[in-house]
Structure formats: structure tokens, C-alpha cells
Structure 1
């Protein structure tokens, strides 16, 4: 589905980003042995639009990128942040990207900051702060990959496939994230933890 802004010329800075985006999509498509026609079928887009984006000539909307990501079977974040592959590998504390609510489909009360420079690597690392009473039991998570968590301050209970794991300062956990899992903070203070997810899911 072509959206009106996909035919608009891009400014020079945006043009370079769109070229990077197109190259990334083409590499991902070829890694999966997909033709333009097949990617078009999987994403619900015309061959012309896919080809235009790969050549850096289009200015795709978020909805179009989401369709392409679905066709490539990757998180849309891998496409959205492709231009950031050239940034420094260092993430300064005051420059962390806030992820509150993004990728979760809701605002669950937690605060999330990305500790890795972008979403293009094999894993993502997130700083998570959850207030007392935090509870995501209403929306358990389930996605491919693995997760690892390390509690820095406070307490968190990680529920994995119906089993509750109560973690305090210095405790850590690793689990298969393809089984249902959710989190709660039953303590009286904010819990601060580092969470590692592979592959990136935000």
C-alpha cells in the first residue's frame, strides 16, 4: 500500500538515511533468499514499492516499515534505527534512549532506557526501573529468544511459565522468553535492574 509521502523527495540528510535503510532491507532480504516478489507477498506491499525503498528512492511511512519488518520476520526497530550503525559504541548515562511503553503495546508504569547504542546487534540491553506495586500479570510477554536480568536495587518477582522467582539485589535470572513471563515489584521501593534480551524485541 503506497502512502502519499512515499513519493516525496527527501532532504539530503534524510536521503542518506533512506539509502542506508534500503541497503539494509536488501541485505536482509537476500540473507533470507527472498526475491522482491516474495518479500512483496509476505509484507503485503507491491514489488514496485519494495524495489523503490531498497534503492533509497522512497520515503516509507512507519506502517510500511512495519509491513516490511513483518515480511522479513524481524522487529521493526531493526529497520527504524539502521542509520545509527555509525554512532559511537558508547552510551552516556544522560543520553540513553527512553523506551517507556514502546514495543509493549501499553504503558505499564515501568521506565525503560536503552543501554546499547541501537537495535541492530544480536542483543539489546535495557535499564529497567519499576515502582512498588508494578505488575504486568494482565499482559504476559511471549516472544522468541532468551532474556537475562540482574537486580541492582530493590526487588522483582519474575514469573516464568507459572513459576515465581523472587530476586533481590545481586540476584540474576536467565530464561527462555518463548514461554509466558511477567513481572511484579512487591517491595516498598523502586526496583532497578539491567535486562538483556536476544534477539532485540523492542
Structure 2
């Protein structure tokens, strides 16, 4: 999925055009909500996003973070990519050189982490991502919580996975599975990059 700032890169830096993009995303959310017969209040309940924020996003009056978009998409039971009309690949094979680069979980973040989509699209029941995080990487400031389940395996380096505040240290070859509805975050406590593969169902990006 290309998050909001990546999609905005296809537009010019003119504030009015970026505002139009926010409006288009809001209209897409409103249309999908109405297709499902949901009120704003019900979408708020399903997504965990306040009624006021849902209303502002739908009217293009807010610049939502990735976390907010992910919560809304889960409330609508769709992958985030559908909010941007992402064109999916037809082939079931994803070549290394053709992996789709994903934005980090935080639209203004620049922490050196790399996320690449290993599945050919976000239309299926799951997504798989190649994750590379540098030493010191830490998402404790923005814990994640959403519908679904996650599985991860560390290929090299080490990764701390915190599930409801409990730390689970994974080293090369170690794997983990947990419910995404439980608050969770990640850190790289080592002195080298950590390479891992993460599988999430349903798709989050």
C-alpha cells in the first residue's frame, strides 16, 4: 500500500491539490461506509476512531495518520490500498527487484526502516512483508492495535516484539504468532540491522 504521503507525491506540492487528495480519500471512505449501510457512529465503533475524526476525514478536513487509515479500513473490512485505488499486479509471482516499497507506519517518520510487499497484491486474506529495521528502531511511541492475526520470523539480527507490554526477544530463526487486537510494538535492540518476514491477516497496508 502507498500511504497518504506517497500517494500525494503523484500530485504537485500545491496545497490545493493535496487538499483535493485528502478530499478524495474522505469521499472514498464515505462511499464505502454507505455501501455497507454503516452510520458514522457505527464505523467509529468498528474502527476505534472517534466520531469527530471519522467525520473530519470523510469531509477532507483532517490529514489522517497511517494508524487512523488502518483502523478505518479494518472497520470497513478492506485493505488500506483500496482507499487509493491501487492497481494490483496480475502475476502470482513477486520478483525481488519488483517488490513494492511500502511506507512506514507513521507518515512523518524517517527511522530508516524498510517494508516491502512480498505478496503480489492486497486482495487476498493475508499480506506478507519483508521488514528491515536498523539498530535503535522503536515503535513504542505508537503501539498498533487492529483486527486480525500476525506471524513473524526473524531471518537475521534480533527483534523485540512487545505484546501488551510483555517483551518477546526473537533472534535468527525464531518466530511468533499473536492476535493483532492486543496492543503491540517493535524494537531492534541489537547493533546490526534486523531482517524479518511478517504475515498479517487481514491485510493492513
Q: TM-score range by the shorter chain?
A: 0.5 to 0.7
1:134 maps to 137
**CA displacement 1:114-149 (0-9 Å, x = unmatched):** 001111111100000000111111111111111110
Partner of 1:149: 152
Question: For residue 58 of structure 1, what is the aligned residue in structure 2?
Answer: none
Does the Cα contact within 8 Å between 1:100 and 1:110 map onto a contact in 2?
no
Equivalent residue for 1:125, pick from 113, 123, 128: 128
Gaps of 5+ in 2: 1-18, 22-27, 44-53, 56-63
Q: Secondary structure at the match of 1:182?
A: strand
Residue in 1 that maps onto 2:90: 87
Q: Which has the larger radius of gyration?
A: 1
Q: Secondary structure at the match of 2:160?
A: strand
In 2, the alpha carbon distance for the partners of 1:122 and 1:162 equals 28
Q: Residues of 1 paired with 2:149 and 2:84: CA distance?
A: 22
Change (3 A) 1:136 1:71: closer
Q: Unmatched 5+ residue regions in structure 1?
A: 6-21, 45-62
Change (3 A) 1:199 1:190: same
**Structure 1 pair 104/118, CA: closer, same or farther in 2 (3 Å)?**
farther
Q: Are positions 1:76 and 2:67 aligned together? A: no
What is the SS of the residue equivalent to 2:139? Answer: coil
Structure-2 residue corresponding to 1:200: 203
Segments of 4+ in structure 1 off by > 6 A? 41-44
SS of alignment partner, residue 77 of structure 1 = helix
Match of 2:50 in 1: none
The alpha-carbon deviation at position 179 of structure 1 amounts to 1.0
Alignment partner of 1:169 is 2:175? no
Note if contact 2:116-2:130 (Cα within 8 Å) is conserved in structure 1.
yes
Describe the shift of the 1:4–1:161 C-alpha distance in structure 2 as closer, same or farther (beyond 3 A).
closer
Q: In 2, distance between residues paired with 1:81 and 1:112?
A: 20
Find the aligned partners of 2:122 and 2:85 in 1 and give their Cα distance: 7
TM-score, normalised on structure 1? Answer: 0.64
Q: CA RMSD in A?
A: 3.3
1:70–1:187 CA distance, 2 compared to 1 (3 A): closer
1:87 positional shift:
1.1
Secondary structure, counterpart of 1:132 in structure 2:
coil
Cα displacement (A) at 1:97:
0.7
